[in-house]
């Protein structure tokens, strides 16, 4: 009798632990994580703005367990010729790191690289003349590098 009771209690404890473990996992990764990630990695300026606001307030998004780490433009200069590309590189890193963690990198790489290029081109809009041409050329070079080696 005691053995049956002990077995029943052990099974009940495991069942409760399984439910609590599932609930904890659900809390750690909200159901809309994929949608949020997608909304922050589109080619539009509004997507960049949403990501930038979230990046500035990462603690508000801690339940999503996003990887915010960045090495900016990796082994390339973060601000080549004075063009401030570092935040564009940071968003690109964010997309790469998080889609790799989700196992969905290959399906999203082209869009991430295109978003990176659009971010770089938006940086270049603040310039004119030869400086803008140089910025756009540098942006194109960075984009081609991530397409080939990213």
Active-site residue, 2 included: no
Helices marked H in 40-84 — which ranges? 45-56
Closest by CA to 43, choosing from 120, 100, 105, is 120
Give the tokens for residue 15.
């069942």
**What is the DSSP-derived secondary structure letter of residue 44?**
S
Contact in structure between 93 and 69 (CB atoms under 8 Å): yes
> Which residue of the set 42, 73, 85, 92 is catalytic?
92
User: Taking phi first (over 0 means left), then psi (-120 to 50 degrees means alpha), and beta for anything else, what does residue 103 get?
Assistant: left
C-alpha Rg value of the chain to the nearest Å: 22
CA distance 58 to 66: 9
Number of residues that make up the chain: 150
Catalytic residue IDs: 92
């Amino acid at each position: 009798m005691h053995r049956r009771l002990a077995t029943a209690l052990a099974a009940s404890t495991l069942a409760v632990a399984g439910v609590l473990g599932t609930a904890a996992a659900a809390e750690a990764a909200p159901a809309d994580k994929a949608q949020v990630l997608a909304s922050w990695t589109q080619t539009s300026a509004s997507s960049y703005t949403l990501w930038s606001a979230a990046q500035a307030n990462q603690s508000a998004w801690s339940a999503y367990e996003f990887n915010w780490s960045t090495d900016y433009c990796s082994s390339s200069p973060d601000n080549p010729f004075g063009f401030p590309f570092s935040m564009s590189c940071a968003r690109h890193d964010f997309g790469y790191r998080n889609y790799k963690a989700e196992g969905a990198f290959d399906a999203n790489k082209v869009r991430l690289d295109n978003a990176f290029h659009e971010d770089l081109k938006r940086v270049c809009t603040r310039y004119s003349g030869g400086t803008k041409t140089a910025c756009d050329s540098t942006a194109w070079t960075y984009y081609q590098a991530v397409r080939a080696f990213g």
